[in-house]
Amino acid sequence: MIPRIAKEKIALEELKRRILAEGRNLGGGILKIDSILNHQMDPVLMAEMGREFARRFEHSGATRILTAEVSGIGPALATGIAMKLPVVYARKRKPITMKEPVYVETAPSPTKGGDVLLMVSPEFLHADDRVLIIDDFLASGKTLEALVHIVKQAGAEVVGIGTVVEKAFESGREILSDHCPHIESLVIVKAMVNGEIILED
Amino acid sequence: MIPRIAKEKIALEELKRRILAEGRNLGGGILKIDSILNHQMDPVLMAEMGREFARRFEHSGATRILTAEVSGIGPALATGIAMKLPVVYARKRKPITMKEPVYVETAPSPTKGGDVLLMVSPEFLHADDRVLIIDDFLASGKTLEALVHIVKQAGAEVVGIGTVVEKAFESGREILSDHCPHIESLVIVKAMVNGEIILED
């Protein structure tokens, strides 16, 4: 008899397979997975990721999803579609349509250098919101921590943090667990050594 | 007997209703619809837009979807999910994961001022691609034209251009129709005068 393998399990295995096949270890802890998550998005896999986050945060009581532009938008939107929740992305440059005062935090940019501002309009983050934060990577945790601070500025509560890829060899999870008890990553990278990418089973 | 109204028609009417209810005419032809399309995305409506683009470009033979970061990503990903096609977004800042030569074009930014670069890696745009370009706005057409030029640099073909909101009082469609015979907009803004937003029926 063939053992029953859940559909979501297959999707996660496919994500892992693709990261190992197409991901590139650029050194210095930088993992390039441009063909799936950034620059190019695989929408079938992205929709699966969204459903998986929806399953893991089913009981979070989330009222809104928050992410940061640019590369968080894909996974956050896919999760929003699955959970039927509005998705807000923190902006890094202030467009002229953003006229009123905004919540602002600073975060370092690991792939572009320097610091970036993250800005969210109070129109889209309220004190009674229960916020699920979704992003592509959990590495140093600095961007996610800046998003947590924005949620706190608004007087709202972070009920979950979900990321597609976690680099377990950086200390992001430790920093974030002070702010949020429920952190989920779909794929955990144990190590990146000698050009290799080693995933947790 | 109640006349049968197609589901996609209802979704478009809801999109129009929301733009009229929540959109703001900021003057100078700038339309703010941050609560639906940018900054905050309504994922249910966004998924409907994706299905509508999929319906309109069903016979385009598209092999890839191209958009520009940031605000094109939502509608493009929703279309990619509906059409099961990879979605590439042109980057405006070069991340350190983008090491190889890239296709580059310049476009003016109507909401941020100045010019922006649009960059696409040749990895994700091939000479045999049939490209469907999706973006949030069709106004001056300059961003979309820059994307068309990137597709041509790659030796590929533009088989369609789809935008969520078209400002008919700007000349974008005229500029683009030289490059692509099939242009679709979900909502057409006829005029923006005296703080009002007037849509085509």
> What average pLDDT does this structure show over B37-61?
96
Q: Tokens 């900054």 label which residue?
A: B39
* CATH at B13: 3.40.50.2020
Q: Is residue B54 part of a domain?
A: yes
The confidence score (pLDDT) of residue A184 equals: 98
The confidence score (pLDDT) of residue B5 equals: 60
- Chain A residues contacting B, CB < 8 Å? 26, 30, 32, 34-35, 38-44, 46-47, 69-70, 73-74, 77-78, 80-81, 84-89, 91, 93-99, 111-113, 120-121, 123-124
Q: Is residue B108 part of a domain?
A: yes
List the one residue out of A92, A63, A167 whose CA is nearest residue B71: A92
CA distance A162 to B12: 32
pLDDT tens sequence across A160-186: 999 999 999 998 999 999 999 899 999
CA distance B8 to B139: 24
- What values do phi and psi take at B19, rounded to 5? -65, -40
Q: Is residue B158 part of a domain?
A: yes
| CB within 8 Å: B93 and A86 | no
| CB within 8 Å: A123 and B77 | no
How far away is chain A from the Cα of B103, in angstroms, using its nearest Cα? 13
Residue A137, pLDDT > 80, answer: yes
> What average pLDDT does this structure show over B79-90?
98
What is the ipTM, given to two decimal places?
0.93
Instruction: Rank A95-99, A108-112, A137-141, B92-96 by mean pLDDT and report only the highest.
Output: A137-141
pLDDT tens sequence across A80-134: 999 999 999 999 988 878 878 999 999 988 777 789 999 999 999 999 999 999 9
CA Rg value for chain B: 17
Sign of the alpha-carbon torsion through A32, A38, A42, A44: positive
pLDDT tens sequence across B104-144: 999 988 777 789 999 999 999 999 999 999 999 999 999 99
- What values do phi and psi take at A90, rounded to 5? -65, 135
Q: Is residue A73 part of a domain?
A: yes
How far away is chain A from the Cα of B158, in angstroms, using its nearest Cα? 18
Q: Is residue A87 part of a domain?
A: yes
Q: Is residue B1 part of a domain?
A: no
- Say how many domains are in chain A: 1
Range of the domain at A77: 7-199
The confidence score (pLDDT) of residue B9 equals: 78
CB atoms within 10 A of CB B94: 14
pLDDT tens sequence across B149-193: 999 999 999 999 999 999 999 989 999 999 998 999 999 999 999
The confidence score (pLDDT) of residue A1 equals: 46
What single letter denotes the amino acid at residue B55?
Answer: R
The confidence score (pLDDT) of residue A4 equals: 54
Q: Is residue A49 part of a domain?
A: yes
Q: Is residue B142 part of a domain?
A: yes
The confidence score (pLDDT) of residue B120 equals: 97
pTM of this structure: 0.94
Contacts of B46 (CB under 8 A, 6+ apart): A77, A80, A81, B37, B74, B75, B78
